[in-house]
Structure 1
Amino acid sequence: MHSSLRDLLITPAEMAAMDLAAARSGIDSFLLMRSAGLAVAAAALRRFPQAQRYAVLCGPGNNGGDGYVAASALVESGANVAVFAFGDPAALSGDAARARQLWNGTIDPLASFLPQPADAIVDALFGAGLSRDLPEPVVETIDRINGRDLPIIAVDLPTGVDGRTGQICGAAFAASHTVTFMAKKPGHLLLPGRSLCGALDVFDIGIPARIVLAGGKGLRVNTPALWSDHAARLDASSHKFRRGHLVVFSGGPQATGAARLSAAAGLAAGAGLVTVASPTSALDINAGHLTAVMLKAIDDPPGLERWLEDSRLGAFVLGPGFGVGERARAFALALCDRALVLDADGITSFQQHRSQLFARLAAAPGRAVMTPHEGEFARLFPEIARDENRSKIEKAQSAAQISHATIVYKGADTVIASPDGKVAVNANAPPSLATAGSGDVLAGIIGAHLAQGMPAFEAAAAGVWRHGTAGAKAGPGLTAETLVASIPPLG
């Protein structure tokens, strides 16, 4: 695969347009299908050489055409192959019909397929373009196969997974292995589709990289290639203020731990100085737990305004354990001119005051990042959250556009979206990150990046990636404290 395509995500509609563009450029579309089918056969033989029979399930479209090519190639390799078709194979047209005509064996109806204990199944029923509920005979086939511990090789995407949204269309195969072409699709990374793909291979089937790059809309997998050019490097002239001053706001006496976790994460992530801004009532509690992190008493908006006259304060994290209400709103609105991570209580405080926040962010020159989990996202963007026709990517994009902030829509499939349309989907987060305090750590890491001068989208993407890497390093039994200690270097 061309290196420029490695981190690309393309939607099924974009893939279809690329196929058409390739054909218009003079490339034989059947040769592309043949390359796809051969890649599937090679993957099946490499991954599951012990299979006594390869059962190839072919659908009524081009995905089925890939399956017929794969079946022919498997037979040529000496394998035992049985083909089962959904619909009338004689009704196929175009390249899929040509592929079916090359298959010299029998074609049995899908309804007659009975899995055998040593089968390996090639799922070529429906590909990434599926967006409607599966027909009942296909659902029945999936029910017969899932749970039998048989290896399943999915062509493009497991049948039943919507390639645009990752959602399940009534039922879906749980694949052991998925073979896709040219670039990953959103459904490979968005839940629940991601959990059904198994190991994923991306094969270059011959569409020129220039066509793929021209046809994509800029969706990316979150990797260091997105933000490494913005990562600050230490040199001999570096000092603590050049590395950025991060401020994290603490809640009252009964809610100070979240802010300290964010502050510790910001310091570990590279901020030169970190200060916890605490109500006077919580100063003693915070002071008893802080060493390298500094402490400042800030009780009300006038006190904050006076402190903000210090231009060396580089970025702010507001929300973890802060409390929901008018005070949180006043603090957040005062910080919109600066670099701000708005998290947790800071987000929830604007549930009934969204327009006030969005208007302020639209008019402000600052760099704002909001980090909602699913519940917080639904509170701040209820209309978007309720729209079942949108993917998580599309929801994050819409939220970023109307809020004028970079959105980190958290989850195992975290999506980072900026108001200017940049989007990345994160794929390195282990399940163990679902633990108390994990989000506070993420907010602190992103805050450190903002304090160092990174643009909001890159700061957020880098933060999410480092957070996932830290989770993998800390291991299954991680806590928020061990997560902080596991934050990897930025560059």
Structure 2
Amino acid sequence: MTPRQILSVAEIAAADKAAIAAGTPGVVLMERAGQAVVEEVVRRFTPRRTVVLCGPGNNGGDGYVIARLLKARGWPVRVLALGKPETGDAKAAAAQWDGETAPLRAPVGGELVVDALFGVGLSRPLSGEAAAVALELAERPAQVVAVDVPSGLPGDAAQPSGPCACAGLTVTFHARKIAHALEPGRSRCGEVVVADIGLSDTASRLYENTPALWLPRFPWPSAASHKHARGRMIVISGPVASTGAARLSARAGLRIGAGLVTVLSPPDALEVNAAHLEAVMLRGFETDLELETIAQQVDAAVIGPAAGVTEATLMNLLALARTGAALVIDADAITAFRGDPDELFSVLDRDDVLTPHPGEFERIFPRLLGASPERIAAARAAAERAGAVVLLKGPDTVIAAPDGRAAVNLNGSPWLATAGSGDVLAGFIAGLVAQGMESFEAACAGAWIHAEAAAGFGPGLIAEDLPGLAPAVLKRLYEGGR
């Protein structure tokens, strides 16, 4: 398995130029792109009245190829053109089109529309007829196939700056772009198909979060494994009325493979935790110094779920940071440092993981999200600033490492929008780290498994379900990786 890259506009442009410099003419790449779109169209649709919208650049050149190839297959096709082709390759493609051509106008009609007006390099809002057509297409996405991106969607931002089309199917080339990975661009693209047109890999360090990225280093047990070898994980419980979140994290860590999982509990919460724990162990502690002593031989620790935004939580985290444990820091343990984020960053190691939702992210990285062009850049900057892995939650969860690696989760599930699901995610990540998985890869794997489990269950999911859903996902991964 090869990890799949996500590219910026500059990176895909460089890949195109490199292919041309190596001897593949631009018109050949355009022909391959058009052929790839046609193959996806005929796989999904029967012949029908089709309108191909062609812009003046190379995206429009792809459109002329698509129109010609569909017409050759007997499809009724007409082209609506936004001006004349302006690039040499687009002019060559247009010269081979011998069907009906008319100026672009709304409504465009047709039973199927191929949107080849503008590609990922668009850097300005749509205007005039192009804007009117984009608004029309946004109302009928099931009938729209976009070439590279729906027109009006910039490739690097994922956020339209003006009118923008929507598509039921988007065919892009070589790799997904940022617009295909982040919301709201991802939703505007519909199904995304990545077609190979013969470009070489780039030096990008941004990836789709799929098993190919981390499965080769997944910590499966061997015949000689025992519970101590599979990792020792702890979770810090909240006070007596706030214990459930810690138990969710602990059960998640156990289900994902950690050999020994212990909930460390304040004395007033011992009885309520004991009433709910079986394979997960329980131990009491009273002070941060006592916690530090207990945690000396631990591999990974979760702190934050329902811990309370208190001085005690802050001191407990600082105590854990003085041990050798890798920390997964969530929820209240993040917010506890909102007054002095640098105090938190000063004690973090590169194997620690922060798992904020956007509100928590803003508390310790103020204004960073708003100042960044998109979530990937924000998460990367945060990871560098914190010196730790940052997992920025959302429908397009981004995982970033201090060394610049980043991944975007593409299998996010709406069923995860339920209380406690983040506590389970923290437990999954810590359970993998406890078993020796590198923290960036553990965060990626935990996020993917978390979403996959939720998608498999569907409506009615609650956080308590998630740990028990993990084994089926793990079994598929194990059998598929053998």
Equivalent position of 2:103 in the other structure: 109
Change over 3 Å in CA distance of 1:353–1:220 after alignment to 2: same
Deviations 1:26-61 (A, max 9, x none): 21111101111122223223322142x111111121
Matched residue, 2:358: 374
Q: 1:72 aligns with which of 65, 68, 71?
A: 68
Amino acid at match of 1:324: V
Measured in 2, the distance between the counterparts of 1:24 and 1:421 equals 29
CA distance in 1, matches of 2:396, 2:263: 30
The reply on whether 1:39 has 2:22 as its aligned counterpart is no
**1:155-166 alignment runs, 5 A limit:** 155-166=147-158
Inter-CA distance 314–149: structure 2 relative to 1 (3 Å threshold): closer
Distance in 2, Cα, partners of 1:194 & 1:145: 16
- Residue 408 of structure 1, aligned match among 369, 383, 391: 391
1:126-169, Cα deviation, whole Å (9 max, x unpaired):
11222332224322112223324651010011112222232123
Deviation sequence 1:333-384 (CA, Å, 0-9, x none) = 22235200000111111111111111222xx4x6200111111112121231
Aligned residues: CA RMSD: 1.7
Query: 2:56: which partner in 1?
Result: 60
Match for 1:111: what amino acid?
R
1:97 aligns with 2:91: yes
**Equivalent position of 2:438 in the other structure:** 455
Contact 1:115–1:145 under 8 Å retained in 2: no
2 CA distance for matches of 1:418 and 1:61? Answer: 37
Aligned to 1:187: 179
Would the aligned equivalents of 2:291 and 2:320 in 1 still touch at CA under 8 Å?
Answer: no
% identical equivalent positions: 47
Q: Secondary structure at the match of 1:196?
A: helix
Paired residue for 1:9, among 6, 12, 28?
6
Q: Tell me which residue corresponds to 1:23.
A: 20
Alignment partners' CA distance in 2, 1:59 and 1:367: 48
What are the superposed Cα offsets for residues 115-135 of structure 1, whole Å, 9 maximum, x if unpaired?
24xx10000011122233222
Q: In structure 1, what is the equivalent of residue 239 of structure 2?
A: 252
Extract unaligned runs of 5+ from structure 1. none
Answering whether residue 310 of structure 2 is matched by residue 340 of structure 1, we say no
CA gap of 1:32–1:424, structure 2 versus 1, over 3 A, is same
Question: Can you give the 5+ residue segments of structure 2 that lack an aligned partner in the other structure?
Answer: none
Aligned-pair CA distance for 1:76: 1.6
- CA displacement, residues 229-269 of structure 1 (integer Å, 9 cap, x when unaligned): 32222233222111111100111111111111111111111
Quote the Cα distance in structure 1 between the aligned partners of 2:160 and 2:416. 25
- Specify which of 124, 146, 171 is matched with residue 163 of structure 2: 171
Q: 2:377 corresponds to which residue?
A: 394
For residue 8 of structure 1, what is the amino acid of its counterpart? Q
Answer yes or no: is the 8 Å Cα contact 1:10–1:216 preserved in 2: no
2:410 to 427, 448, 470: 427
In structure 2, the partner of 1:120 is: 112
TM-score by length of 1: 0.92
SS in 1 for 2:172: strand
2: CA distance between counterparts of 1:476 and 1:43? 31
Q: Report the number of matched residues.
A: 472
- With normalisation by structure 2, the TM-score equals 0.94
Q: Secondary structure at the match of 1:340?
A: strand
The answer as to whether partners of 2:53 and 2:116 remain within 8 angstroms in 1 is yes
Is the CA contact (8 Å cut-off) linking 1:48 and 1:151 kept in structure 2?
no
How far 1:14 moved relative to its partner?
0.5
Match in the other structure for 2:290? 303
Q: Please state how far the C-alpha of 1:112 moved relative to its aligned partner.
A: 4.9
Following superposition, the deviation at residue 10 of structure 1 comes to: 1.5
Question: Does residue 292 of the first structure (1) align with residue 296 of the second (2)?
Answer: no
Establish whether residue 315 from structure 1 lines up as the match of residue 300 from structure 2.
yes
Amino acid aligned to 1:241: H
Paired letter, 1:327: A
